[in-house]
Amino acid sequence: MTAQALAAEFEVSVRTIYRDVDELSAADVPIYGDRGPNGGFELLDGYRTKLTGLSPAEAATLFLAGLPGPAAELGLADMLTTAQLKLTAALPEGARAAAARISMRFHLDPVGWFRGVDDARFLPMIAEAVWKEAAITIRYRRDAGPVSRTAHPLGLVLKGGVCFERPVDFDLAAFWTKASRAYEVGLYHGTAKLRVSPRGLILLDQLGSPLAQMVREQARMTDAQGWVSVRVPIERADWAARDLIRFGAEIEVLEPAELRLRLFDLARDLSQLYAARAPSS
């Protein structure tokens, strides 16, 4: 069909037809044009789309799953754009409109407040190793010096050689759920008993929602000043001290004694530092 005939059929301008044809071609839809008095645009014989029966909600979900942030970090931004273009071209009008609203209403910003973007320049290489089932060598710094490790990447989760055999029953999503929970639990090697002021209960959100929720669930009995005593999991005493000192006098550590001593040392060092520079009265 000619551009003029297509424009009349779909009740759009000829320019819109040319633009749509360009976009379909860019999405690898086999459409081509012939010049001449009998020419026009034609779809390759036998071409069919298999994307049939998608509801507007299902189409929107697919677009939401392809948010651009992680794809860009993995070096897949161009492929994501092409895939979405193909999907858009294959959708019925109603589903297409619902899918288009996703890009206008949702944006993924994985960077925390007041933080910079993490250095992700190695993610595309790691993603390629995952796809090709190739081993990778990682070299990183530790207190004792540089350490090298050879890893067999079974999958890559974003919260980016020598061949190896992939386990047949490996389930990435199930493994990550189990491993991440085990990692979180394994970080905590002890507990601390805290005395927390009413304002301190609010400030504890800075330590993360799960820990703050744990504290609020325990915060039932208060003393005469409205303070509560709670127990929280901690890693090492020195790390916990650095986390808790930010709350100043709104939180008092009752135990363990090692953590109280660490906080005392930090507070003493701060006092000495600022006392030396304090203006004379």
DSSP string for residues in 127-158: HHHHHHTB-EEEEEEETTEEEEEEE--S----
Could you tell me the pLDDT band of residue 264, with boundaries at 50, 70 and 90? Answer: very high
- 37 prior amide bond cis, ω within 30: no
Place of tokens 């990682």: 138
> Of the ranges 8-22, 43-57, 63-77, 136-150, which one carries the lowest mean pLDDT score?
63-77
Residues 6+ apart with CB under 8 A from 171: none
Res 259: pLDDT = 92
Q: b vs e for 80-109, b when ≥16 Cβ sit within 10 Å of the residue's Cβ?
A: beeebbbbbbbbeeebbebbeebeeeeeee
pTM strictly above 0.85: no
Place of tokens 């203006």: 279
- pLDDT above 50 for 160: no
d(CA 177, CA 175): 6
d(CA 257, CA 241): 12
Q: What is the pLDDT averaged over residues 268-280? A: 81
Res 180: pLDDT = 74
Report yes or no: 250 and 205 within 8 Å, Cβ to Cβ.
Answer: no
- pLDDT above 60 for 216: yes
| Nearest CA-CA partner of 236 in 258, 214, 251, 252 | 258
- pLDDT above 80 for 51: no
Length of the chain: 281
Res 74: pLDDT = 65
- pLDDT above 50 for 62: yes
Helix (H) or strand (E) holding 173: helix 172-187
More confident residue, 165 or 248: 248
DSSP strand pairing (31-34 vs 190-196) = unpaired
Res 150: pLDDT = 92
- DSSP of 40-97: EEEEPTT------S--HHHHHHHHHHT-HHHHHHTT-HHHHHHHHHHHHHHS-HHHHH
Res 76: pLDDT = 65
